[in-house]
Amino acid sequence: STFNTEAPRIMSLTPQDDNRDGVAIRVASDRLLSRSEQQRFLIVFSDGEPSAFNYSQDGILDTYEAVENSRKLGIEVFNVFLSQESITESTEQTIHNIYGQYAIFVEGVEHLPSLLSPLLKKLLLKSF
């Protein structure tokens, strides 16, 4: 299966900063709004806090504002936080500050299907 070959490759990528999550969320939301579907949802996969040169704490606020704005426009925004290590309480709190209760924490790619499946099922059933 694709999961068995691609998932380990994806999880072997190392973070190198310069991810402006707020910008990505705004672009994706704009594209979703141009579509005709009634239900719109955005799943944001991340491996850490928003981080880029001259973005630091502003990145967290910018991402939070992008998430809130998307939600006001009717887009459901969820975060799937992927880590190969245990997730610190501080990181978990930061992600909750950005996404609220709409965050899933995955410690190890092998847990991704079992943790993501209920969310996808709920979203897909809701659209019928």
pTM for the full model?
A: 0.79
Residue 1 has pLDDT above 60, yes or no: no
| Residue 55: predicted pLDDT | 58
| 62 vs 48, more confident | 62
| Residue 92: predicted pLDDT | 93
Alpha carbon distance 85, 82 (integer Å):
9
Comparing CA positions, the residue from 24, 61, 60 lying closest to residue 44 is: 24
Residue 85 has pLDDT above 90, yes or no: no
DSSP string for the chain? -HHHHHHHHHHT----S-B-HHHHHHHHHHHHHTS--S-EEEEEEESSS-B-TTTHHHHHHHHHHHHHHHHHTTEEEEEEEEESSPPPHHHHHHHHHHHTT-EEEEESGGGHHHHHHHHHHHHHHHT-
- Mapping DSSP onto H, E and C, the string for 43-60 reads EEEECCCCECCCCHHHHH
Class of domain 2-126: alpha beta
Alpha carbon distance 32, 73 (integer Å):
10
| 43 vs 12, more confident | 43
Average per-residue pLDDT for the chain = 86
pLDDT range class, residue 63, cuts 50, 70, 90: very high
